Chain A
Amino acid sequence: KQEVTQIPAALSVPEGENLVLNCSFTDSAIYNLQWFRQDPGKGLTSLLLIQSSQREQTSGRLNASLDKSSGRSTLYIAASQPGDSATYLCAPNRDDKIIFGKGTRLHILP
C-alpha cells in the first residue's frame, strides 16, 4: 500500500526566501508524480507533473525533482511571494491510483 509523507507539515517564511518542500513515498513503482496547490476552501490546482522517467520539471519559479529509486520528490519555490501561501500536496500515481500526502501548509510573511 502506497504511503506518502510530506515534511514539514507547516512552514512560515519571510517573503523573498527560497524554500524546499519534501515528499516521500513507500512504493517507488510509480507512473508519475504531481504537485498540487490548494487554497483554503478551494479545489486543487496542478502545478507540475513529473513522469517516472524524468528527474525534474520546471514551471516559472517552481522546480520539482524526482528520485524514484529512493521514493523522494522535492518542490523548490524560488523568491517566495505572499501569493504563494497555500497548502501544497504531492501525489504519486501507481496502478491507476493517485494517492496523496497530507500536505505542507505554507505561509509567506509579507
Chain B
Amino acid sequence: NAGVTQTPKFRVLKTGQSMTLLCAQDMNHEYMYWYRQDPGMGLRLIHYSVGEGTTAKGEVPDGYNVSRLKKQNFLLGLESAAPSQTSVYFCASSLTGGRDTEAFFGQGTRLTVV
C-alpha cells in the first residue's frame, strides 16, 4: 500500500516555465489537498477537492490551477512559474471530510524557480 505518492520529488524551473505536479493515492479517498510550506509561514492550503471532478480554492490559490479528473489523482499546475513559487509542496488525502477521518500526507516536492 503506497498511500500518497508525489511526483516529482525535486524540480528546478526557470521563471515563466510551466509544470504539473502529480499526487496519487491508492486508498480510495474522496478528499485531496495541495499545500505549500515555506520557512516561517507553515503549511498553507492552495486548493482542495472533495471528490472526482470537483476543485475549490484554499488560502493561497493565485498562480496555481488544479484538476481532479480521476478520483485517485490530483494535479497541481503552474502555468508561468515565478520565484515566489519556490517552496516545498505537499499533497494530502482523507477518506471524507468528516469527524472521524484523518489526513495522510505525501513526502513532498521541492520546487525551485530561478
Taking Cβ atoms with an 8 Å cutoff, the residues of A that contact B are: 31-32, 34, 36, 42-46, 49, 51-53, 89, 91, 93, 95-103
Residues of A within 8 A of B101 (CB): 32, 49
Taking Cβ atoms with an 8 Å cutoff, the residues of B that contact A are: 31, 33, 35, 40-45, 48, 50, 56, 58-59, 90, 92, 94, 97-108
List of 10 A-B pairs having minimum Cβ-Cβ separation, nearest first: A102-B42, A96-B97, A44-B105, A100-B43, A43-B107, A51-B99, A49-B102, A31-B99, A43-B105, A32-B99
Residues of A within 8 A of B50 (CB): 96
Residues of B within 8 A of A103 (CB): 42
Whether B99 lies near A53 (C-beta < 8 A) is yes
Whether A89 lies near B107 (C-beta < 8 A) is no
